[in-house]
């Protein structure tokens, strides 16, 4: 792999004696795969015996297979180890309001959800229409029940959520230098001019993001680039432009080091931010900073309440209640306000402000679909359910699970009571099936079906 000449020259100048080791690390073939386990799942023991990532709760080194049971059921999420440091730095407390502003494909969103443990509010946003669909799929698969998914620009969202969030995460679009080893195609569009283009875009995003942090709240800024213009110099710009914000120390371990004030304006406060260099740790390149807003200001109260759908009709409410009481039971009922969007039923997190100006991609947890005289539960509801709290569960074996994800019906040795069941395999929720006689009708989403090969099971 040949690094761009301008890139090599730049970092030889910046890093001096450290440059040879740094540049060599970018052309090495070190495997830096990683994954996080879902603390809301009963995680298979083999996933927690790998080497843990030292700075990331629930993080491990190693690869997971996308066609495995653990992946399909949301027990595990594949994520590059250095990227885990971002969510670990944000580490929201239970009950907080959190915004992931540039969220696709969803790794950091699902990490934030692990900290919230189903409490508080997680607003996750992606401006790109295609990428927001991938974000929604990953949020759904991870079983996140307290998320609202938006598809908007930061300048549209800042008037909706003034002074609103305890934590705002800006994993900014960047020049991608830290991903050269993992994704060599990132070098094809890299140039010194592209770095400057990224700086302009990052300043625009941050100008809106700071407006959504409540007094006393925090903004976590991250990139996957080494460029000082996008990292230390960006934080120096924030401190000068928005004096109500100050940097707070980022906890560093496992090879994570201080940011470099000399690469910006020399402000020693910049050392509180963190750099992840591939020649110093097992992972790719990242920069992470944590800013806190002073608490003296009086927060602006968002006006109005969210109206993200319509109230249920009497017949719809009866159909839902019949399903919920029979299949879920009182202990497994999802939290939130029930609303319909056309024929789709959602549980919307409470206390949201009015979102008329925002483009809502998912207003909350998708519960299911109302069809003629019946209710059909959603895949998202299945993956957000805890099997031990659900009334109607049906355990299937691994062979049956392979048929299930392929879209086939499942034959049973005996005939349980007819109706809907939460299907589980190795104690993981995998979807809702409908039992008729000795057959389980398949409702695994058609767009997600796949074939499991023998190597996927090893």
Indicate which residues carry an active-site annotation: 224
Q: Is 176 annotated as a binding residue?
A: no
Task: Give residue 231's region: left, alpha or beta (phi > 0; psi -120 to 50).
Answer: alpha
Q: How many residues does the chain have?
A: 458
Q: Is 425 annotated as a binding residue?
A: no
3-state SS track over the chain? CCCCHHHHHHHHHHHHHHHHHHHHHHCCCCCCCEEEECCCCCCCHHHHCCCECCCCCCEEECCCCCCCHHHHCCCEEECCHHHHHHHHHHCCCCCCEEEECCCCCCHHHHHHHHHHCCCCEEEEECCCHHHHHHHHHHHHHCCCCCEEEECCCHHHHCCCCCCCEEEEEEECCCCCHHHCCCCHHHHCCCCHHHHHHHHHHHHHHHHHHHHHEEEEEEEEEEECCCCCCCCHHHHHHHHHHCCCEEEECCCCCCCCEECCHHHCCCCHHHHHCEEECCCCCCCCCEEEEEEEECCCCCCCCCCCCCCCCECCCHHHHHHHHHHHHHHHCHHHCCCCEEEEECCEEEEECCCCCCCCCCCEEECCEEEEEEECCEEEECHHHHHCCCHHHCCCEEECCHHHHHHHHHCCCEECCCCCCCEEEEEEECCEEEEEEEEECCEEECCCCHHHCCCCCHHHHC
Q: Is 336 annotated as a binding residue?
A: no
Q: How far apart are CA 398 and CA 401, in angstroms?
A: 5
Q: Is 105 annotated as a binding residue?
A: yes
Q: Is 103 annotated as a binding residue?
A: yes
Q: Is 126 annotated as a binding residue?
A: yes
Q: Is 102 annotated as a binding residue?
A: yes
Binding-site members for S-adenosyl-L-methionine are 102-108, 126, 171
Binding-site members are 102-108, 126, 171
């Amino acid at each position: 792999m040949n690094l761009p000449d301008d890139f090599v020259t730049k970092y030889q100048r910046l890093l001096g004696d450290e440059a040879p080791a740094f540049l060599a690390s970018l052309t090495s073939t070190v495997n830096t795969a990683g994954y996080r386990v879902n603390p809301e799942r009963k995680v298979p023991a083999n996933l927690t015996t790998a080497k843990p990532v030292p700075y990331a709760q629930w993080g491990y080194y190693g690869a997971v297979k996308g066609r495995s049971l653990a992946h399909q059921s949301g027990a595990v999420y594949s994520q590059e180890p250095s990227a885990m440091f971002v969510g670990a730095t944000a580490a929201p407390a239970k009950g907080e309001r959190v915004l992931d502003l540039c969220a696709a494909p969803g790794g950091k969103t699902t990490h934030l959800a692990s900290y919230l443990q189903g409490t508080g509010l997680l607003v996750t946003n992606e401006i790109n229409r295609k990428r927001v669909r991938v974000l929604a799929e990953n949020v759904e698969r991870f079983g996140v029940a307290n998320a609202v998914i938006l598809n908007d620009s930061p300048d549209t969202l800042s008037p909706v959520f003034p002074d609103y969030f305890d934590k705002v995460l800006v994993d900014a679009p960047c020049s991608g230098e830290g991903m050269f080893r993992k994704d060599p195609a990132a070098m094809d569009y890299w140039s010194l001019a592209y770095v400057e283009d990224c700086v302009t875009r990052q300043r625009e995003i941050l100008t809106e993001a700071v407006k959504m942090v409540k007094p006393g709240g925090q903004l976590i800024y991250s990139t996957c680039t080494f460029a000082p213009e996008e990292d230390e110099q960006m934080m120096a710009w924030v401190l000068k432009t928005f004096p109500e914000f100050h940097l707070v120390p980022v906890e560093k371990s496992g090879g994570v080091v201080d940011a470099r004030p000399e690469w910006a304006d020399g402000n020693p406060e910049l050392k509180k931010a963190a750099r992840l260099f591939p020649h110093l740790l097992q992972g790719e390149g990242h920069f992470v900073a944590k800013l806190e807003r002073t608490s003296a200001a009086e927060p602006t109260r968002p006006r109005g309440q969210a109206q993200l759908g319509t109230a249920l009709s009497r017949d719809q409410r009866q159909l839902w209640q019949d399903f919920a009481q029979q299949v879920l039971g009182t202990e497994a009922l999802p939290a939130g306000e029930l609303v319909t969007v056309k024929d789709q039923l959602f549980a919307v997190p409470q206390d949201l402000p009015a979102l008329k100006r925002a483009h809502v991609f998912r207003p909350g947890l998708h519960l299911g679909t109302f069809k003629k005289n019946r209710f059909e539960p959603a895949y998202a509801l299945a993956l957000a359910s805890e099997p031990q709290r659900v009334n109607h569960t049906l355990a299937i074996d691994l062979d049956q699970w392979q048929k299930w994800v392929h879209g086939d019906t499942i034959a049973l040795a005996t005939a349980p009571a007819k109706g809907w069941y939460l299907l589980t395999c190795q104690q993981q929720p995998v979807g809702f099936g409908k039992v008729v006689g000795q057959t389980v009708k398949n409702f695994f989403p058609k767009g997600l079906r796949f074939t499991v090969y023998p190597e996927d099971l090893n």
